Amino acid sequence: MGLHREYYTYVVASRSRALYIGMTNNLERRVMEHKHGKGARFTRQYNVNRLVWYETFRRPQDAIAREKQLKGWRRERKIALIEAVNPSWEDLAAIDPAGR
């Protein structure tokens, strides 16, 4: 039996609700990178560093497919997805830094 890994598709947002969708195999590390300005240029420029939504997957290809799917959605649909589980847009990493 091999080591079980988890993969994540996630959304980080700025206080003004600019959104960034990504995929990672280490959600805690990736969110900390966003918080310390080590994320993508867009996230640094717009201070997009609050984890507002994520999903967990067993296979990386599933997380990548979900990331691509979400990136193809209209903004309204992305907001509805976030608000279905996080209506107040709380920083989930502040609640649990591991994102669990």
Residue 17 has pLDDT above 90, yes or no: yes
Distance CA 15, CA 72 (A): 23
User: Bridge partners of 56?
Assistant: 8
pLDDT at 43: 84
- d(CA 85, CA 75) in angstroms, rounded, equals 16
Q: Tell me what the mean pLDDT of segment 57-75 comes to.
A: 98
Give mean pLDDT, residues 81-95: 94
Tell me: pLDDT of 98 over 60: no
Tell me the fold of 7-95.
GIY-YIG endonuclease (3.40.1440)
Amino acid residing at 59 = R
CB 48 within 8 A of CB 39: yes
Q: What percent of the chain shows pLDDT beyond 70? A: 92
> What average pLDDT score do residues 64-70 get?
98
Domain ranges in the chain?
A: 7-95
More confident position, 5 or 97: 5
